[in-house]
Amino acid sequence: MPLSRRDFLQTGAFAGGALALAGCDGVYRQAAQQLGQTIPRSVTPPSGVGLDPFHHLLSRAGFGPWPGDVERARSMGAEAWIDEQLAPESIDDRACDLRANRFETVFCPGGEAYEYRRPVVHEELARFTLLRALYSRRQLHEVMVEFWSDHFNMDIGKAECAWLKSSHDREVLRAHALGRFRDLVRGTALSPAMLVYLDGRANKRARNEDRPNENFARELLELHTLGVHGGYTQRDVMEAARALTGWTVRKGWRKGSVEFRAADHDDGPKEVLGVTIPAGHGERDLDLLLDIVLRHPSTSRHLAVKLCRRFVSEQPPESLVERVAEAYRSTNGEIRPMVRAILTSEEFRRSAALKVKRPFRYVVSALRSLGADTFAHRPLLEYLSRMGQPLFSYPTPDGYPDENAPWLGAFFWRWNFAVALVTNRIGKTSVDLRALNDAIAPPGAAAHSARWLRHLLGRDGTPAEQAAIDRFLGGSGGTPAQRQAEAVGLILASPGFQWF
C-alpha cells in the first residue's frame, strides 16, 4: 500500500512535522534515506568480458540497477528475484512513496482534477511517473506500467485528457499492470480519458441515420487486441463500433464520470469476426465484444510479440513468441505468466545489447546508476522533451515506437544530459560521485576507471573504452574531481551504456 502522509508522520522519520506538511524536499529526502534509499558503503561491480547476466536482467526487467542491486539479485538468484518482482505488493516501497506520492492531482478523482490548470496536472503526472521509475523497488511493475501506457497510448494534450489521464493510469494501468489483460482492456474501454481521446463519448446511434464513431473500435482491434494483421475487416470495425455505442463522459454534475445511455445504444444484432452478438443486451454488448476479441488467436500472438519486442529484441525469436502466446491462452490472459516466460527464457539471456534505450529509460537508468537525488523538477523533465520523448505527448494512438531506428538521431542531447548530470548542473538534481567512487573503489584508492566501467556497463571495458576513460582521468585540465566527472559522463554517453 502507498505510504500516506499520516503513515509518514507515524514513522518518526523526522521531527520537523511542520516542514513536512509544507512539502519540504529536504525532509522527504532525509526520511527516504533513513528507509534505505542511499548509496551503499560498498559496491562490488560485476566483471568479465561479457555483460553480467544480473546486470542484464535488472536493465531489462527494471530501469537499470541502483548501486548494490546487482549484488542483491545475485545473492537471491535470478528466478527468486523475478518472482519477487512479479509480486510487487509484497515489496516495501515506502521510500519511493515518500518522494513520489506528494502530488494531489495524481490521486484526486477525475472530476476534481478539473480544478487545476492543465500544465499543473500534466507536470505532476510526469514527475510522479519519473520518480516511481527511478526510486521504486517494484521495478518490473514500473516497466510494465510504461509498456501499457504505450499500448493504450493517449496524447494528454487532446481535449480534456490532461484532467483524466491520471485516474486512468491509477485505476487501470497501475492497478492491472501484472494482472489480467481483460481488466486492462475493459478498464481502458470505459476510461473517461480514452472515451475522450478516441471519441468514444461521441459514439451513439439514437436514430437510424446516425453513423457510429469508429475511432475507438478500430484501435481496439488494430492496436489493443488483434493487431494490424489480425484478420479483421472494415465491417468488423463498424460492427464493433455499434456494440460500443451509448457510453459517454458526463458534463456538469459528476463531471468526468462515465455512464451508459441506453437511448444512444444500437441494441440490434451484430456480427464481429464471424461471431454473433444477439440483440437486446444493451451495455452487456461491451463484454460480449471483449469475449470475442480477447479469445481470438491473433490477440495472444499480437500481445506476445509486443512483450517480446519490449523485453528481448526488435525481431524476437518465433520460438519465444509462441511460448508466450501459449501462456496467454492457457491462463485466460494472465500477464504474470507471460512475463515470467520471457524473463526466464534462454532467448532473453542471449539478448544483451540488442536494444537502444529510449530517452525515458536512458534518463532513469543514468540517474539510478549514480544513486541520484531528485524530485524530478522541470529542468529534468525538459531533457526528455529535448531527446524526443516528452511524457504522455505522443500524438497518435500507437504510442512511442519500440524500434531502435527512431531513437538513433538525438544523441547530442543525451551527451548534454550526461555532462550536466555528472557536474550537478540540472536544477534540483544532484549526484555524489565521491560517495559512489568510495563505494566501488578499494579503500583509499583514487578514481578507478576499470571499476567505473564495470559499475556502469555491467562488464569490463573494452581496450578502447578503457583508454578513453584513462585519458580523461590522466589529463592535466581541471581538478581530479572534475576529470572524474568528465570520465563518468563519457561512460554514460557511450554506446556501451546506451545499448542494453
Query: 353: burial class by Cβ within 10 Å (0-12, 13-18, 19+)?
Result: middle
Calculate mean pLDDT across residues 382-386: 98
The SS3 call for residue 287 is: helix
The grid coordinates listed for 457 are: 556497463
- Which three cell numbers mark 360? 525515458
- Distinct helix (H) and strand (E) counts, the chain: 30, 6
Selection from 119, 196, 207, 185 nearest residue 154 by Cα: 196
Each residue's pLDDT tens digit, 5-56: 445 434 433 333 433 333 568 888 998 889 889 999 999 999 999 999 999 9
165-194: pLDDT as tens digits: 999 999 999 999 999 999 999 999 999 999
Position 475 confidence tier, pLDDT thresholds 50, 70, 90: confident
DSSP string, 23-45: T-HHHHHHHHHHTT-S--S----
The grid coordinates listed for 278 are 444477439
CA 478 from chain centre, in angstroms, equals 39
d(CA 44, CA 389): 33
Question: Which amino acid is residue 197, in one-letter code?
Answer: Y
Distance CA 396, CA 328 (A): 27
Class of residue 145 by CB neighbours under 10 A (exposed 0-12, middle 13-18, buried 19+): buried
In the chain the first and final C-alpha atoms are separated, in Å, by 32
Listed as own residue / partner, the contacts of 195-200 with beta carbons closer than 8 Å and 24 or more positions apart are 195/247, 195/248, 195/249, 195/258, 196/158, 196/159, 196/160, 196/161, 196/164, 196/249, 197/154, 197/155, 197/158, 197/159, 197/161, 197/397, 198/154, 198/397, 200/244, 200/247, 200/248
Q: Hey, is 429 helix, strand or coil?
A: strand
Confidence class of residue 482 from pLDDT cuts 50, 70 and 90?
very high
CA distances from 396 to 157, 172, 223, 393 (A): 11, 20, 11, 9
pTM of the model: 0.94
pLDDT digits (tens, 9 = 90+) for 205-244: 878 788 999 999 999 999 999 999 999 999 999 999 999 9
pLDDT of residue 17: 40
Q: What angle do CA 245, 246, 249 make, to 5 degrees?
A: 120
Q: Tens digits of per-residue pLDDT, 136-158?
A: 999 999 999 999 999 999 999 99
Does the pLDDT value for residue 270 go beyond 90? Answer: yes
